[in-house]
Amino acid sequence: MKNFKRYICLALTTLLVFTLFTGCKKEEDKGKDTGDKTKTEEKYENGLPKDQKVVLKCGFFETGELKKHMEYAMESFTKAYPNVTFDPLFSPSIGDITQPRIAANDDNEMFDIFSCMGLTELELVKNNKLESLEDLWDKSPQDTPDKSLKDLAQPGVYENAKRTEGKTYQLPWGTFVGGMFFDESLFDKNGWNKTPKTWDEFVKLCDDIKKTGINPIVYPGVYAGYLTAYAFNPKMFELADINGDLKGFTERFQTGAKPYYNSPESLEVYKRMAELGKKGYFAPGIAALNHTQAQMMVLQGRAAMVPCGDWIETEMKDATPEGFKWGYMAVPVRDKEDQNLYYQGGQTDSVFIWANKPDLNKAWAKQFLLWLWTQDVQKVDAEIGVLSIRKDFNAVDSYSDSKRKISQYVKDMDAKMVDDGYYKSWPKDPAAKQADKLWSENLVNMTLGKKDYVEVLNKCEEYMDKARAAEK
């Protein structure tokens, strides 16, 4: 009896170990041609085989609406190409999930396609982790075979696409816009200027608003970057353009090269913000406000303008009162109308393709990125509040009211988009972090005129000098 029990235990253990090993399959076997080589493969128009099953692992940034768009894109792609399926993972902190996978250096566990959020492109390119997507600009989306992405892209998108060492590694599929948002009904009621064309006009607008007892501008002091990222950082590019140094400034801005914090453009922009602050154009208590509170002040009519991204309408839709209409403007720092006006814009959650995957996986991943540019998928983007990447977008009615106004504003003002959130590289030394901390802690006081912006920005630049020196 004892021996019988022993043999049963041994048999069960052997079975358990055996099943563990048979459950594993090499990822490299997936996507490889395992079919009968004597049979001719059937292929799609894109030249890829119909009979080889491919599963694309994806890691996407999640907000409620963006998830809907990606799910639709994946579903429709699989309908068109049944041999390709997806294994998606959505997360609002997808960068925190992707980073450890990259650090683990396991290509099998890594995503085929993944959001760029929170990742440093330069380091990934240096380590040959990313697939170049530069060739896609000459390819066509599946519904427009006679035009390339280059031809279809909105003005400036192809030329200003994020590139590392001259190549595109993240392909945009939509754009977003940042700037000053306001209640158009309130502006119309008071006869305020909705499209100030110069700095003087903007200051006069703030003055007109202040006279009625409403705070001209409110921004969330808890999140330092809202005022600068959405409204005033693009103004540095505007000034650089006026000064004839746009290319040089852009390069320095995107790499943290000297001068960064105390460049002439930066000092001028902070001077203007301090000017607004000293005149009392910013709402009181700003330092304590988060973005929801700041945006609520505009909805309640206690403040006139708030810097934000174009998702503000969707974000605040449940709290928006009857009759409220969102309006948009880019703050002008130019002195003359014939100078260029810049507004903040960027790519909506671009995606990378991991380089160390089977060729068939990568080929299908590229096809999926082209699929995101089709009119059908772009229409779903528009419905969730993303501005189309295509200049021939044929479903403008799908846009919300505010998006239509943004499109119209950009067209009427002939405004140029600049992505001030894109950084090619950044010094890694802790001194760079200290510079950022000093800047973010003093931003509110600099804009209110309570702290000398020159002194603070010079100190930040000193920290950056230490960081740059440590890198050498």
3-class DSSP assignment, residue 130: strand
Q: Does 457 bind other proteins (CB under 8 A)?
A: no
Q: Does 11 bind other proteins (CB under 8 A)?
A: no
> Tokens for 140?
């066509």
Q: Does 436 bind other proteins (CB under 8 A)?
A: yes
Amino acid at residue number 49: P
> Tokens for 97?
């999930």
Q: Does 10 bind other proteins (CB under 8 A)?
A: no
Question: By C-beta, is 386 or 431 nearer to other proteins?
Answer: 431
Q: Does 426 bind other proteins (CB under 8 A)?
A: yes
- Cβ atoms 311, 181 nearer than 8 A: no
Q: Does 92 bind other proteins (CB under 8 A)?
A: no
Each residue 112-131 as x (binds other proteins by CB under 8 A) or -, in order, gives: ------xxx--xx-xx----
Distance in angstroms (rounded) separating the CA atoms of residues 199 and 334: 6
Residue 451: burial class (beta carbons within 10 Å; 0-12, 13-18, 19+): middle
Please give the torsion angle defined by the CA atoms of residues 277, 283, 288 and 289, in that order, rounded to the nearest 10 degrees. Answer: -120
Q: Does 441 bind other proteins (CB under 8 A)?
A: yes
3-class DSSP assignment, residue 98: helix
Subset of residues 231 to 260 that bind other proteins, contact rule: CB under 8 A: 233, 256
Subset of residues 345 to 374 that bind other proteins, contact rule: CB under 8 A: none
CA atoms within 13 A on the CB side of 299: 16
222, 242, 413, 454: which one contacts other proteins (CB under 8 A)? Answer: 222
Q: Say how far residue 319 (Cα) sits from the centre of its chain.
A: 25
Q: Does 108 bind other proteins (CB under 8 A)?
A: no
The reply to whether omega before 427 is within 30° of 0 (cis) is no
Tokens 């992707």 -> residue = 98
Q: Does 96 bind other proteins (CB under 8 A)?
A: yes
List Cα–Cα distances, 264 to 63, 240, 451, in angstroms. 38, 9, 18
Question: By C-beta, is 256 or 327 nearer to other proteins?
Answer: 256
Sign of CA pseudo-dihedral 143, 148, 150, 152: negative
Q: Does 63 bind other proteins (CB under 8 A)?
A: no
Q: Does 216 bind other proteins (CB under 8 A)?
A: no
Distance in angstroms (rounded) separating the CA atoms of residues 384 and 468: 42
Binding part of the chain for other proteins, among 131-139, 356-364, 391-399, 435-443 by CB under 8 A, reads 435-443
3-class DSSP assignment, residue 346: strand
CB of 324 to other proteins, least distance (A): 19
CB of 216 to other proteins, least distance (A): 17
223, 356, 379, 452: which one contacts other proteins (CB under 8 A)? Answer: 223
CB of 123 to other proteins, least distance (A): 4
CB of 444 to other proteins, least distance (A): 6
Subset of residues 292 to 321 that bind other proteins, contact rule: CB under 8 A: 293, 302
CA atoms within 13 A on the CB side of 50: 9
CB of 292 to other proteins, least distance (A): 10
Q: Does 105 bind other proteins (CB under 8 A)?
A: no
Binding site residues, other proteins, CB under 8 A: 96, 99-100, 102-103, 118-120, 123-124, 126-127, 221-225, 228-229, 233, 256, 284-289, 293, 302, 420-421, 423, 426, 428-434, 436-437, 440-442, 444-445, 470
